[in-house]
Amino acid sequence: MNPLKFIFFCASVLITACTDKSDRIDYTLSWTGDGIRVDMEVRSRIDSLFFTYATENGGFTDQMSWFQDLTSLKGEVSADPSTRKIAVVPDGGRAKLSYTVRCALPKDYYSPKSCLWDMFRPDLDGEMMFTRTENLFLAPEDMATPVSVRWAEVPEYPVYCIYNPGKGTDPYYGTAGSVVGSAIVGDPLLEVDTVMINGRANYLVTALRKSHDMNKIALKDYFRSFYGSISDFWGEEDPEPYSMVIFPFRNNTFEMTGNGFSNGFLSRYDATADTILTTGRRDIFTHEIGHKWIGGGNAWFSEGFNEMQTGYQTVASGLDEPSYFAEYLNHALAGLHRNPHRNDPGDLAEERFWDDGDYTWLLYWRGFSYAFHLTGLVEKATGKPDAWKVMMDAVKPFLHDFSQERFLEAMGGLIGKERAEADFRKYILEGQDFDYRPEDLPSGCAIVRLPDGTPKLEITDTLLFARHFSVHLKS
């Protein structure tokens, strides 16, 4: 045999052997008019596998009602509704199954005090498509499993898949983790704009109902300014595009919500609004984009420190003045002080995070207050006014594998192990009120008490306070 042909023959045999032995999942999606049918082919060397449908986000208990018509075409499959676990037993290393995801908001649904239906529940019909992808793809136990996604039937309107940026419903190849933690939207008015940031292509996805040109310009300007600034802050040049998806609520249920993912974020907004980019909505966008970097670990960190990042980056990106940071923090300080659970221990707060809004916001505001407290300590210990940057550089190596132990080790390296552990125990674990001692505060500010005892940040030296942000301000 020709030596070159022999090499190619050996390579093809090796590739085939590896392919036959490799675990893999292929998802084929078909639009049914009121839902999405998923045909799923599993190839595995394991005798039995377990998949999970949906999550407990939002406290929902009826997720399995969205998951319909489960059928086994090869191998055995069974579902446990109580745990949302799907057991699959391959036949000869392969299994084929199908199911359909259907769910729509009730026609008369209107709840201005809750956005959970809109945030976490699929909403699929001939007029609009919205689903978080954990509500669509069965997630394997090993999220590094190679997967493919192909659309066999698509709706008549445009569809955008955050996991496949800029490519619509084209075939996708990646890992289970890259498709499960994402979202899909579709709408007759959906538009995709390429936005160049730091020389890289990213995507703004909109389905605007009102004031089209004004809102499109404002959203593009915000995206360029903020995403460019926060990427510079973290010192990262992500080769993958980032998607900023601004999608309307079907019903006027809530002013704005947001879901942050590793490769994009999705914000639902009140479609009756003339102006999308109000200050409040801008801050939600900023918070959700921040989850690209601060999104793991306990809620006091993933949400609370991300609130600190929101206030900081709003100023550092040039979107607002340093005085806005004080305004943003004061909202959290007041919320924490007036929270009926403000002194509950940390483990109880984590356990009841989804039980009611007071417990949810408790960890946002406690974590934010703790981050601000640490910033003052780090500035005093290091002599650097950009203490927030110093802190985040210290935790950056384990942001995607966060643990309290590693966090305390990093903070101990900056302010001393004894102080770091004592303050964490006092303020996070035990839920005690913050002292806000003058000697511990960042420079250029003070904490005063209102008549009811609520703490309030006041800027005492404008130039000194601005130094905390000016290091990273864009010219």
Residue pLDDT, tens place only, 370-389:
999 999 999 999 999 999 99
Q: Cβ(1)–Cβ(9) under 8 Å? A: yes
Q: Which of 145, 139, 181, 141 is nearest to 161 (CA)?
A: 181
SS3 label, residue 436: coil
Please, what is the angle between helix 279-290 and helix 304-316, to 10°? 120
Please report the beta strands in 112-235, taking only residues with DSSP state E, as ranges in sequence order. Answer: 123-125, 128-132, 139-140, 146-153, 159-161, 172-175, 183-186, 191-197, 200-206
What average pLDDT does range 35-61 have in this prediction? Answer: 91
Of 118 and 354, which is predicted with more confidence? 354
pLDDT tens digits, one per residue of 298-322: 999 999 999 999 999 999 999 999 9
Q: Cβ(346)–Cβ(404) under 8 Å? A: no
Q: Report whether pLDDT(184) > 50.
A: yes
Mode of pairing for the β-strands spanning 200-206 and 146-153: unpaired
How many residues are present in the chain? 475
Q: Cβ(185)–Cβ(266) under 8 Å? A: yes
Domains of the chain: 23-109+130-186 (2.60.40.3650), 189-293 (1.10.390.10), 299-470 (1.10.390)
Q: Which of 259, 260, 119, 262 is nearest to 177 (CA)?
A: 262
What average pLDDT does range 140-152 have in this prediction? Answer: 97
Q: Report whether pLDDT(158) > 60.
A: yes
Side chain identity at 117, as an amino acid letter? W
Residue 112 has a pLDDT of: 55
Displacement of CA 195 from its chain's centroid (Å)? 21
Q: Report whether pLDDT(12) > 70.
A: no
Neighbours of 61 (CB within 10 A): 8
Q: Please, which residues have CB within 8 angstroms of residue 218's CB and are 6 or more apart in sequence? A: 275, 276, 277
Q: Report whether pLDDT(4) > 90.
A: no
Of 273 and 7, which is predicted with more confidence? 273
pTM comes to 0.86
Q: What's the token pair of residue 445? A: 């500010």
What average pLDDT does range 275-294 have in this prediction? Answer: 92
Q: CA dist 120 to 6, 103, 439, Å?
A: 54, 11, 44
Euclidean distance between CA atoms 441 and 215, whole angstroms: 39
Mode of pairing for the β-strands spanning 76-80 and 123-125: unpaired
Q: Cβ(407)–Cβ(471) under 8 Å? A: no
pLDDT tens digits, one per residue of 100-125: 999 877 766 665 555 566 778 898 99
Share of the chain above pLDDT 70, in %: 90
Q: Report whether pLDDT(18) > 80.
A: no
Of 56 and 41, which is predicted with more confidence? 41
Residue 471 has a pLDDT of: 55
Interior CA angle at 84 toward 78 and 85, to 5°?
A: 50
Q: Report whether pLDDT(189) > 60.
A: yes
Q: Report whether pLDDT(43) > 80.
A: yes
Q: Report whether pLDDT(236) > 80.
A: no
**Element of type H or E holding 233:** helix 212-234
Could you tell me where the DSSP H helices lie in 56-130?
116-120
Confidence of residue 258 (pLDDT cuts 50, 70, 90): confident
